[in-house]
A and B are shown apart, each in its own frame.
Chain A
Amino acid sequence: MAEEMRIVLRNYGKIDPLKIEDYIAQGGYKALEKARSMSQQDLIAEVKISNLRGRGGAGFNCGQKWSFAYGAKSDVKYVVCNADEGEPGTYKDRLIMENDPQALLEGMSICAYAIGAKQGYIYCRGEYPQVIDILDKAIEQATAKGVLGDFNIEVRSGAGAYVCGEETALIESIEGSRGEPRFKPPYPPSQGLWGKPTIVNNVETFANLPAILENGADWYASIGVASYPGTKVFTLTGDINNRTFFEVPTNTTIRELIYKFGGGIPAGKKFKAVQIGGTSGAFIPESQLDTPVAFDNMSAIGATLGSGAVFVLDETRDIVDVAARIAGFFEHESCGKCAPCREGTARIAEIMENINDGFGDLSDLALLKKLGRVMSVSCLCGLGQAAPAPVITTIEHFLADYQAKIL
């Protein structure tokens, strides 16, 4: 049933991203004009009704988030775009920024008007220098055209730390500090960048806004699953025939993503598992493939949508080895600020390495599960809370693989 549906990628391949005229010719900046003709409250209400939820991973209702920043009393407010796309296997934000940067600028400008911000930042992954060039040029053109009005946007970049994709670590990094998360509350909409009310949204979230304003909130709310409407961009990697990207409505199932859009597993091999949402995502077995790729449906099976990376493993893959490598990744990327993540990620990596090398025993599995239970609820930020998920879900769904290494 599902067909690809392009909202955030609607101009992909149709315009020259470095020509703002092309974007405008496609109807670009009409949405911003419309937004500015509305009252701030009406605009925020419209975004709320669309039920657009954050595409960065946490899935918070976008309009509701804006209403907090709108209601916060402050002369200065900020709009920040999280473009620190550091999840392995994810490149959806890069697609948007490389192919339709003005859509991002327009989305940010709509937000700026809604909350009353005059300054915006795009925090772009440091490993994307070519994207930073494109953004700088796009901002220059938009400023020259005067379409942004009195809203000013600057690009900032990270230095490669994965944790800077966490919104408060990102804010610390923009402020010039070591990229480490802050405790919450206070949340950025009340106290964010330099202590001022700040909206941090993902690239894909902002890129949805022009279309929502153009076509109306009801239109958007009717697409895909009602609790998480709209589309989601997925990037397919691993053992899959079509290693490419697709933008699909959120009522598409994982099975459709893999077999219909992805063209199935190469060389006639069988499916083993899929990890969705990036490195911290859960590993999903065959039995759960009919889950729609919408936030709450994924949560219900203990998985996440995250960044929209789809990493497929065929039957020949050593899933314990994969999980052990991922554990090593989190040991390396933990910032070290909070104790359970700093020590826990290192212990998970150590125990997983042991098991993978054939030196583990069954008590190690109990210990991993305990770390999973504790870290997922006690760590300071999402990195530590999510870090055990790949290990825990592989133990849950592929216990035999672990037992084979232990016994």
Chain B
Amino acid sequence: MINLTIDGINVSVPEGSTILQAAREVGIYLPTLCWHPDQAVKANCRVCVCKVEGNRLLQAGCSTPVTEGMVVKTKTPQVIEARRTILELILSNHPQDCLNCIRNQNCELQDLANEYMIRDNPFELKVRGYDLDRSTPSIVRDQDKCILCRRCIDACSVTQSVFALGVEGRGVDSMVVPTMGLPLMESPCVLCGQCIHACPVGAIYENEQIDEFLAAVADPDKIVVTQIAPAIRLAIGEEVGMNTGELPMEVFVTGLRQVGFDHVLHTNFTADLTILEEGNELLTRLKEGGTLPMFTSCSPGWINFCETFYPDLLDNLSTCKSPQQMFGALVKTYWAEKMGVDPAKIYSVSIMPCTAKKYEASRPEMNSSGYQDVDLVLTTREIGRLFRMSGMDFNQLPPSDFDSWMGKYTGAAVIFGATGGVMEAALRTVYEVVTEQELKDVNFTGVRGMEGIKEAAVDLNGTEVKVAIAHGLSNARKLMDQVRDGASPYHFIEIMACPGGCVGGGGQPITKANKKRAERIEAIYVEDEGMPIRKSHENPEVKIIYDEFLHEPLGHKSHELLHTHYHAKNKKYL
């Protein structure tokens, strides 16, 4: 242990700790901007500088290791002047339109400007005046707001191994730009949105489509139908002042009706359906010598990644559409038929934890219902804003049920939201289908948790099936390289683009730390435990849709509506 004093308080911390870590141990909070709890230290914003006795220079708290006997002072006049001046400098080219900013009241720079009482900035405001990058349907970039902390670059390259963002230019002209200065859509970006979580300000954010939703609600000819992804319920509470997992599903449903949805259905229904289709696809591949390992295909960021970086492995991808797109195709066919409504009038809105879903819904091939299957994708954050705008008190709202047809789901669908969840759901069903025996314990705990790559093996009537799970695309890359080299021992691989799975998706409430993702995962398994049915093939509505409409997994109708194909993206500058 290393002993030092910070502002006169004695601290003992393990060797290798930084001043920042030591200070937090004793409740002294240093301001930070470029520091991120799950990323490497950058030390480029300099707002955490402190005085260390014996040094002429101030030392960055985030990068300076503590030494025995060190005497640190975090609030001398010199330190305060340095921090305030640095903040003034950063703010002197930052747009002052906090009121209109998507990150208003959820902005690290705004917090610090407030804490350090930046009033009359002595430096003349010079907003750089770049155009917004609206090239993608998912993500918008506002260069003017960028403070060059580079956290987005770290998320894109280290966490995701996509390398779509980098620094171009020098000095005050330096900018964070997509590869070769291209519009984001032309870069290798997979639209996962992890950069949004990393951004301390409003320089990169989801393509907000609230107005399109309000216009649809206002249109009397439109029947506005929504589906909610598995990872939404537990996180949406965070947007309305509740704890993770605290908002009950039934109250959430009421809230959605209040803001204008005519019918509230659940993506979990098609999550269960996915298990039937994908599980049978796996069994067919195993039986008939199809391409293995098979990869899951629920995560559109992952699909973009595979199409961009591993086009040679597209045959390994399950042909199953994601639950969102299965739902989209069914709502304008099966559901419309069941409800006796004109599918042309249905305005299908999905609520997703994901920015890449916005792109997925806009893919031209996603029209197997005869219409664009999903008309609009709103992220968890957008729904949160809608809720806040509507002024509802969720503590007082009465509960209500999902609408009939495509609103029923099992615990297996709930866990789709967490890394390992699709795999666990598939194993629950595949095991029973193959062995024709009841699974005694449905909990496959080995595939759960935040470890980057997990693996497991299941005995299916004497055949050992080996599975692996990766979340975060850098982890996915390791498994993909193994497959490409012909060295993959697995039969089935689940990949989720975002760390933690959908709970950490690019559209979720701004999540600075992986700790939060783990908390949401916990809430998911609690929900699963409480479900009366926890195996997808036991979902009564799923049984009915096969009886009445689809007839059998991988059948003709399924192929028409629930399966798709993939294309190499042929991006430049990979």
* Chain A contacts to B: CB under 8 angstroms: 161, 178, 183, 185, 331-347, 350, 363, 367, 370-371, 373-374, 377-380, 385
Task: Please give me the residue from chain B that is nearest to A377 by CB atom.
Answer: B58
Task: Please give me the residue from chain A that is nearest to B67 by CB atom.
Answer: A185
Query: Is the beta-carbon distance between B173 and A371 smaller than 8 angstroms?
Result: no
Residues of B within 8 A of A342 (CB): 148, 171-172, 174
Residues of A within 8 A of B60 (CB): 183, 380
Query: Is the beta-carbon distance between B170 and A335 smaller than 8 angstroms?
Result: yes
Residues of A within 8 A of B78 (CB): 373, 377
Decide yes or no whether B64 CB sits under 8 A from chain A: yes
Q: How far is the CA of A335 from the CA of B64 in the complex (A)?
A: 22
One of B44, B47, B124, B167 near A380 (C-beta < 8 A): B44
Decide yes or no whether B82 CB sits under 8 A from chain A: yes
Tell me whether chain B's interface is mostly helix, strand or loop, or mixed.
Answer: loop
Query: Is the beta-carbon distance between A377 and B82 smaller than 8 angstroms?
Result: yes
Q: Which residues of chain B in 72-118 are interfacial with respect to chain A, using CB atoms and an 8 Å cutoff?
A: 78, 81-82, 85-86, 89-90, 92-93
Chain B's nearest CB lies how many Å from the CB of A186?
A: 8
One of A178, A345, A363 near B172 (C-beta < 8 A): A345
Decide yes or no whether B340 CB sits under 8 A from chain A: no
A-B contact pairs, 22 of them (CB 8 A): A178-B167, A185-B65, A333-B171, A336-B170, A336-B171, A336-B174, A337-B174, A339-B33, A341-B171, A342-B171, A342-B172, A342-B174, A343-B93, A363-B122, A367-B122, A370-B122, A371-B85, A373-B78, A374-B85, A377-B58, A378-B46, A378-B57
Query: Is the beta-carbon distance between B46 and A339 smaller than 8 angstroms?
Result: yes
Q: How far is the CA of A248 from the CA of B19 in the complex (A)?
A: 44
Query: Is the beta-carbon distance between A340 and B86 smaller than 8 angstroms?
Result: yes
Residues of A within 8 A of B65 (CB): 185
Residues of A within 8 A of B148 (CB): 336, 339, 342
Residues of B within 8 A of A345 (CB): 171-172
Q: Which residues of chain B in 47-72 are interfacial with respect to chain A, using CB atoms and an 8 Å cutoff?
A: 47, 49, 56-58, 60, 63-65
Residues of B within 8 A of A370 (CB): 81, 85, 122
Query: Is the beta-carbon distance between B85 and A331 smaller than 8 angstroms?
Result: no
16 new A-B pairs (CB below 8 Å) besides A332-B171, A378-B57? A185-B64, A333-B170, A335-B170, A336-B167, A336-B169, A336-B174, A339-B45, A339-B148, A342-B148, A343-B90, A343-B92, A343-B93, A343-B172, A347-B123, A370-B122, A380-B46
Residues of B within 8 A of A346 (CB): 171-172
Decide yes or no whether B147 CB sits under 8 A from chain A: yes
Residues of B within 8 A of A338 (CB): 43-46
Chain A's nearest CB lies how many Å from the CB of B497?
A: 27
Task: Please give me the residue from chain B that is nearest to A346 by CB atom.
Answer: B172
Chain A's nearest CB lies how many Å from the CB of B433?
A: 51
Query: Is the beta-carbon distance between B173 and A347 smaller than 8 angstroms?
Result: no
Residues of B within 8 A of A339 (CB): 33, 44-47, 86, 89-90, 147-148
Task: Please give me the residue from chain A that is nearest to B147 by CB atom.
Answer: A339
Chain B's nearest CB lies how many Å from the CB of A178?
A: 7
A378 and B123 contact, Cβ closer than 8 Å, known pairs A161-B170, A336-B148, A370-B85: no
Query: Is the beta-carbon distance between B81 and A373 smaller than 8 angstroms?
Result: yes
Chain B's nearest CB lies how many Å from the CB of A154?
A: 27
Residues of B within 8 A of A385 (CB): 57
Residues of A within 8 A of B339 (CB): none
Residues of A within 8 A of B167 (CB): 178, 336
Q: How far is the CA of A185 from the CA of B174 in the complex (A)?
A: 25
